[in-house]
């Protein structure tokens, strides 16, 4: 049975934040986007950065995403991200035999976590991908504290087991979602296209096949 780090910790929330030291954030853009779809929300990336930093000293916030270089709206979104606190690592989408497009950035995330391991005290990984468990375990052995943030239904147990703290996106969605009056013209997508109207009549993002 997994420990509930939020309730069973011997430290108060304030002490946890004090002990975080310098923070580096690693966001799997595709994983986060699909988690947001499951939650029925749109992410406010300014709020997200503030929530993940939590008042600690931020070294850098990385955002990893697959891109279609011909998609002007997506390029506009990534430009906005670069100008608002994120270091964007983009990789061209590759078309698979079934016609879908995908860009796997697990290697890039793992390499960056290891390359900067001596520069930060706490890593915040926004992903539920179990393929990153080995990298998380490796940086932990270097003395780094690792917090995993993701939607529980999309998160590998192996990733949670090697993390020091797990935060379910469901628990913080009110802190990171856009308010109804907010409107950003761009959204990050990996493997699916952008639409002129980002929401359908039922209020949920529409996916273009």
- 20-73: pLDDT as tens digits: 999 999 999 999 999 999 999 999 999 999 999 988 999 999 999 988 888 888
pLDDT (tens digit per residue) in 136-152: 999 999 999 999 999 99
Residues 186 and 73: their CA atoms lie apart, in Å, by: 6
Q: What is the CA radius of gyration of the chain?
A: 17
Instruction: Give residue 15's pLDDT band: very low, low, confident or very high (50, 70, 90).
Output: low
Residue range 93-105: mean pLDDT, rounded: 74
Residue range 87-112: mean pLDDT, rounded: 84
**What pLDDT does residue 145 have?**
95
- Reading the block at residue 177, the tokens are 């979602």
Residue in this structure with the two tokens 């002990």, named with its chain if needed = 19
Instruction: Please give the DSSP secondary-structure letter assigned to residue 199.
Output: B
Residues 19 and 121: their CA atoms lie apart, in Å, by: 9
* 8 Å CB contact between 38 and 194: no
Instruction: Please give the DSSP secondary-structure letter assigned to residue 131.
Output: G
**What pLDDT does residue 197 have?**
38
Higher pLDDT, 93 or 153: 153
Residues 123 and 28: their CA atoms lie apart, in Å, by: 13
Instruction: Give residue 208's pLDDT band: very low, low, confident or very high (50, 70, 90).
Output: very low
57-67/145-150 β-pairing: unpaired
HEC string for 13-81: HHHHHHCCCEEEEEEEHHHHHHHHHHHCCCECHHHHHHHHHCCCEEEEEEEEEEECCCCHHHHHHHHHH
Q: Pick from 179, 188, 205: which is nearest to 39 by CA?
A: 205
Q: What is the pTM of this model?
A: 0.78
């Amino acid at each position: 049975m997994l420990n509930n780090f939020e309730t069973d910790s011997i430290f108060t929330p304030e002490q946890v934040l004090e002990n975080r030291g310098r923070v580096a954030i690693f966001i799997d853009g595709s994983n986060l986007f699909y988690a947001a779809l499951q939650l029925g929300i749109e992410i406010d990336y300014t709020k997200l950065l503030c929530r993940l930093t939590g008042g600690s000293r931020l070294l850098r916030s990385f955002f990893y995403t697959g891109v279609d270089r011909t998609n002007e709206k997506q390029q506009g979104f990534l430009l906005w991200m670069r100008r608002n606190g994120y270091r964007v690592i983009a990789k061209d989408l590759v078309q698979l035999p079934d016609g879908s497009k995908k860009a796997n950035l697990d290697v890039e995330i793992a390499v960056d976590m290891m390359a900067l391991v001596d520069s930060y005290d706490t890593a915040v990984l926004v992903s539920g991908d179990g393929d990153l468990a080995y990298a998380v375990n490796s940086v932990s052995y270097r003395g780094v504290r690792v917090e995993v943030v993701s939607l529980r239904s999309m998160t590998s147990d192996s990733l949670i087991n090697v993390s020091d703290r797990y935060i379910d996106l469901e628990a913080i969605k009110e802190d990171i979602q856009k308010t109804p009056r907010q409107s950003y013209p761009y959204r990050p997508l990996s493997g699916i296209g952008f639409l002129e109207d980002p929401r359908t009549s039922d209020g949920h993002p529409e996916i273009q096949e």
